[in-house]
Amino acid sequence: MGAATGLPHAVCVELARSAIADGPTAYAEPAAIERAHHYRRTLLSPVINATGVLLHTNLGRAPLALAHPPQAINVELDLTTGERGSRQHAVGGLLATLCGAQAAIVVNNNAAAVLLVLAALARDRQVLVSRGESVEIGGGFRVPEVMEQSGAQLVDVGTTNRTRLADYTKALTRKHADVALVLKVHPSNYRVEGFTAETTIEQLATLPVPVLADIGSGLLDAACPWLAGPPPPWLATEPAARQTLAAGAALVTFSGDKLMGGPQAGIIAGRADLVAACAAHPLARALRPGAHVLLALQQVTLAYLDRTAADTIPFWQMAAATVNDLSIRAHVIVADSGRGHVVPSEALPGAGSAPGTIIPSVAIEIVGDHLAAFREAATPIVARSRDGATFIDLRTVHPSDDTALTAALAALPA
């Protein structure tokens, strides 16, 4: 059974035993093989993202090629002195340059970044947060709960839809106020519209306490200097690290695997003294990334600094593809497979990035719900269905996967 399924012998033995225990011996072998094939589907494996969601959290967010030679890396060795060094020095320095910050460090993810900053700078002290920004995002990440775990005390200011600078000032001047930080949180996956008022970073920076801006999605520079043309319209309202720091934020935190297009990581960038305090906190060791993440993040950061990100980072390749190019690919796939027809589509940034915005795209529509059949393809295809039809959005499909898509379409029952 192992040769037929590609699974280790020990796994096959366990699956065979469970099949025998659950049914007559005569049916044990086919049942065990079926279980083995099902088991393989539970393992991590490459898939084709045809959903039109560029940063699909269930599919690993930003796609990124990871190439790490089987060699040692000077993660914590200073090659100049031969002494022990900091794993944060190389990548942190590059990120600081990229963001226009004095310093930067890297942790496991953005939730960890926020947790570490609060624990290092605000434990047993108060942190001001607008009620409209005390949010929950994907995976149950809730600002009040993260703050509680850090030991900081949440102080709500303003109202859900309107928070003014005067609300922060009032909280700072209350009796027994002991405010360590003001936390401004990017809403990430929702948008409040209508009768609203928001306090800007420039306004918050006038307060006598540091401002921590959790920008979440990781847009590095609103000008997108790594692109040949102007910034995409769908990024118009997305906060960027460089501009947020320039506006007066003492620190920014953001994800490495969203709009940055890198590996899963959380970045803390800003004032050198505050970043150093975070790096020195005991939690920093528990939240630190490994060599593979640091090396991948270094490669991505260098691509931004040398202005090759648009050509080398898969996220930006997907985002920058023209509708005309997507249409040409879609028509070729339909012609070669003999199935479906080409329709306009609307892709999404995903992962809480640029909420409420869409990116024009192109899809192949096939009558009927074929999601299960596509997931059973040699390379599983994750598509979407609506109104009795299945849609394959080409914006999130790498051109090298067009052949696999064509074969999967052709194999569908007539």
Going by pLDDT thresholds of 50, 70 and 90, the confidence category of residue 128 is very high
Separation of CA 306 from chain center: 23
DSSP three-state, residue 294: helix
Note the pLDDT of residue 27.
53
CATH of the domain at 119: 3.40.640.10
- Domain ranges, residue 171: 89-310
Average pLDDT of the residues in 362-368: 97
Q: pLDDT tens-digit profile of 327-361? A: 999 999 999 999 999 999 999 998 877 777 899 99
Going by pLDDT thresholds of 50, 70 and 90, the confidence category of residue 410 is very high
Could you tell me the two tokens for 321? Answer: 């593809």
Going by pLDDT thresholds of 50, 70 and 90, the confidence category of residue 371 is very high
Could you tell me the two tokens for 229? Answer: 């043309």
Q: At what angle do helices 272-280 and 110-122 cross, to 10 degrees?
A: 100
Asked whether residue 196 carries a pLDDT value surpassing 60, the answer given is yes
Type of residue at 389: A
Best CA proximity match to 95, nearest among 315, 267, 337, 277:
267
Best CA proximity match to 200, nearest among 248, 148, 251, 160:
248
Phi first, then psi: give them for residue 158, nearest 5 degrees. 70, -155
What is the DSSP track for 66-95? ----SS---TTB-TTTSSB--TTHHHHHHH
Average pLDDT of the residues in 147-174: 89
Half-sphere exposure of 173 (CA within 13 A, CB side): 7
Q: Which of 294, 310, 326 is the last residue of a domain?
A: 310
Q: Which residue has the higher pLDDT, 195 or 61?
A: 61
Q: What percent of the chain lies above the pLDDT cut of 70?
A: 93
Note the pLDDT of residue 59.
95
Asked whether residue 123 carries a pLDDT value surpassing 60, the answer given is yes
Note the pLDDT of residue 25.
59
Q: Are 326 and 288 in the same domain?
A: no
Best CA proximity match to 10, nearest among 19, 2, 20:
2
Q: pLDDT tens-digit profile of 41-96? A: 889 999 999 999 999 999 999 999 887 788 999 999 999 999 999 999 999 999 99
Q: Which residue has the higher pLDDT, 218 or 193?
A: 218
Q: Are 56 and 28 in the same domain?
A: no
Q: Which of 289, 310, 331 is the last residue of a domain?
A: 310
Number of domains in the chain: 3
What residues contact residue 154 under an 8 Å CB cut-off, 6+ apart? 126, 127, 129, 134, 143, 144, 147, 148
| Cα–Cα distance for residue pair 294/286, rounded to 1 Å | 15
Average pLDDT of the residues in 244-270: 97
Asked whether residue 2 carries a pLDDT value surpassing 60, the answer given is no
Q: Are 223 and 334 in the same domain?
A: no
Q: Are 163 and 234 in the same domain?
A: yes
Average pLDDT of the residues in 88-117: 96
| Cα–Cα distance for residue pair 183/189, rounded to 1 Å | 18
Q: pLDDT tens-digit profile of 292-311? A: 999 999 999 999 999 999 99
Q: Are 239 and 323 in the same domain?
A: no
